[in-house]
Amino acid sequence: MKVFCGGSNPALANKICKYLKINIGEATCKRFSDGEIYVKLNENVRGRDVFIIQSTQPPADNLMELLFLIDAAKRASAQRVTAVIPYFGYSRQDKKDEPRVPISAKLVANLITAAGADRVLTLDLHAEQIQGFFDIPVDNIYGMPVIAESFKQISSKNTVVIAPDTGGTKRARGFARRFGDLPIAIIDKRRPSPNQAFVMNIVGEVRGKDCLIVDDMVDTAGTLVGGANAISNAGADKVYAWCTHPLLSGNAVEKIENSKIEKMFVSDTVPIKNSSKKIHILTVANLLGEAISRIHEEKSVSSLFIE
């Protein structure tokens, strides 16, 4: 096995290799003076099982690095190349919901396949149907087990799991089931345009409860903070949040700091430049490392799909 990474999240890649008890492969990723990307694998990969770890959050250079690294490995006669994408960018653009717009997630899937990837390993896809955009195997594992130990410190029989919208109901129900069939509630919201959402109603009982909002990502934090404030105004005792992918663009950290959220748990699928005392980062390195190990050894990874 050989594991390489691009420049999107080397800290996570090194933690994964520490779990696997191997050294991370030496690779060069740099820019020419005109901004073009140059990559090179500095180790022999002929006949090897190669894993390339790279999240594809903005800028688009992260996606291009991934494609170039895959192509480099294939042209160097790697036996198999698995793209390990902790955060799959463009996953929110998974359908044609307006005239004359692309299905960007499908195009990204095509690019990764065309570059030569034999398999994809990712974490908490925004839309699970994206797996069907690929003509190669895709393992979409859940990050929820990572929060399990931390959640035990704050959970009680008085806890309600909150879905931030109707689309997140399955995720919330899976989390609630993991902790003994906790009750769930749903935030009914309207989204007039991208990155804008208005909370309309809370479906379920939250008064006097400790509430945990469960979502796959937080971007501008407008939806999360609006939901947290609405839950608090509806009489909730405390509000917590779990989001796998902390994109935290714009003034998201400031919004969270000034919100009703007591604690917010996130993973390290993408690096956080600015943090807050409310934000607690949990690593998914062991989870991804175990998945990589099982794929390499041709063992089942189905147990990692359980929410």
DSSP states along 246-307:
E---TTHHHHHHTSSEEEEEEESSS--SS--TTEEEE--HHHHHHHHHHHHTT---GGGG--
CA–CA distances in Å: residue 82 to residues 20, 76, 268, 279: 16, 14, 20, 31
User: Which 3 state secondary structure label does DSSP give 92?
Assistant: coil
User: Which 3 state secondary structure label does DSSP give 138?
Assistant: strand
CA–CA distances in Å: residue 67 to residues 17, 54, 100, 184, 197: 21, 10, 26, 40, 34
Sign of CA dihedral 246, 252, 253, 256: negative
Catalytic status, residue 189: yes
Beta strands in the chain (DSSP E): 2-5, 27-31, 37-41, 49-53, 80-85, 119-123, 138-141, 159-163, 184-193, 196-203, 210-218, 238-246, 261-267, 279-282
Annotated catalytic residue, options 40, 95, 96, 189: 189
Indicate which residues carry an active-site annotation: 189
